[in-house]
A = this chain, B = another copy of it.
């Protein structure tokens, strides 16, 4: 592919769009998509078509660097052809994992699933047919740090870009969330900030809410407090038992997680404080 993406954020200042689009035009990069957002900061995502982009990418990056510097930009320029390398963490619940694997298999999810890591052996049979390595790393409260170090020994050599917590019911140490800042996506089985923490469906039942939901968010040091990427809900009523909520919730969870992963790996998500900007979130 000759498609590239430029995503950037910087302090607000006039002329940024003009400068960036002129830069691309002068390099014969045709803009396919441009989206911008402005609050206290400025955010831009440009998708462009450019002959032999993969070959020229380093050169173009170097040419862009001075502009970026003058506007104090945080930025990255990537080839759309480059596939994200994912590690999926799971515990015993397989519905999100199964869904991601299926989307991967059908080509809907254009990424490389490099490994699955679990604190249980249960889901190994689900993964095996795909030829993806499944690492069983047991975790207890006492061994959390040690387990995380084992995880790192698996993740680092594999050059993992993004970790997906697909109903991985364990806490990630904060040094690891910092190492993979805005690169760990968790699916929480409630409409956050409602019912953060444990047993959200039980608590939703007890509170008598009329809708349940799921939330995909970046993992930060504080449990279930990171920037939200996507949420969805489904109407329920007094007839739904906790078991019904869990059953219905599974369908929401896997769809919300799949959307978040899709947008993340296509560089559509930018983090703005504790909020996310999701460009072209379709």
Q: Point out residues on A near B: beta carbons under 8 Å.
A: 14-15, 17-18, 21-22, 24-25, 28, 30-38, 94-95, 98, 102, 106, 108, 129, 191-195, 205-211, 213, 227-228, 230-233, 235-240, 244, 247-248, 251, 255, 258, 272, 274-278, 280-282
Q: How far is the CA of A228 from the CA of B33 in the complex (A)?
A: 23
Supply 28 A–B pairs (Cβ within 8 Å), ascending by A: A15-B30, A18-B22, A18-B25, A18-B31, A21-B22, A34-B34, A35-B35, A129-B129, A191-B191, A191-B211, A192-B207, A192-B209, A207-B275, A208-B275, A208-B276, A210-B228, A210-B230, A210-B231, A211-B213, A211-B233, A235-B235, A236-B282, A237-B278, A237-B281, A238-B276, A238-B277, A239-B280, A244-B282
Contact of A193 among B22, B35, B207, B240 (CB under 8 A): B207
Q: How far is the CA of A206 from the CA of B272 in the complex (A)?
A: 10
Contact of A228 among B24, B38, B209, B272 (CB under 8 A): B209
Nearest CB of B to A240, in Å:
6
Number of this chain's copies in the complex: 4
Q: Check A278–B238 contact: CB distance below 8 A.
A: yes
Q: Check A233–B236 contact: CB distance below 8 A.
A: no
Chain B residues within an 8 Å CB radius of A237: 278, 281-282
Q: A14-B30, A98-B102, A237-B282 are in contact. List 5 more A-B contacts (CB 8 A).
A: A18-B31, A207-B274, A207-B275, A237-B281, A251-B255
Chain B residues within an 8 Å CB radius of A233: 211, 233
Chain B residues within an 8 Å CB radius of A194: 191-194
Q: How far is the CA of A125 from the CA of B205 in the complex (A)?
A: 40
Q: Given A17-B31, A18-B21, A18-B22 in contact, is the A231-B247 Cβ separation under 8 Å?
A: no
Chain B residues within an 8 Å CB radius of A211: 191, 213, 231-233
Query: From A279, which residue of chain B is reached at the shortest CB distance?
Result: B238
Q: How far is the CA of A103 from the CA of B15 in the complex (A)?
A: 36
Q: Check B15–A25 contact: CB distance below 8 A.
A: yes
Nearest CB of B to A244, in Å:
6
Nearest CB of B to A142, in Å:
32
Contact of A108 among B205, B247, B280 (CB under 8 A): B247
Query: From A254, which residue of chain B is reached at the shortest CB distance?
Result: B251
Q: Given A34-B36, A236-B282, A251-B255 in contact, is the A207-B195 Cβ separation under 8 Å?
A: no
Q: How far is the CA of A21 from the CA of B34 in the complex (A)?
A: 12
Q: Given A210-B231, A240-B282 in contact, is the A14-B35 Cβ separation under 8 Å?
A: no
Q: How far is the CA of A171 from the CA of B191 in the complex (A)?
A: 27
Q: Check B208–A228 contact: CB distance below 8 A.
A: yes
Q: How far is the CA of A274 from the CA of B38 in the complex (A)?
A: 32
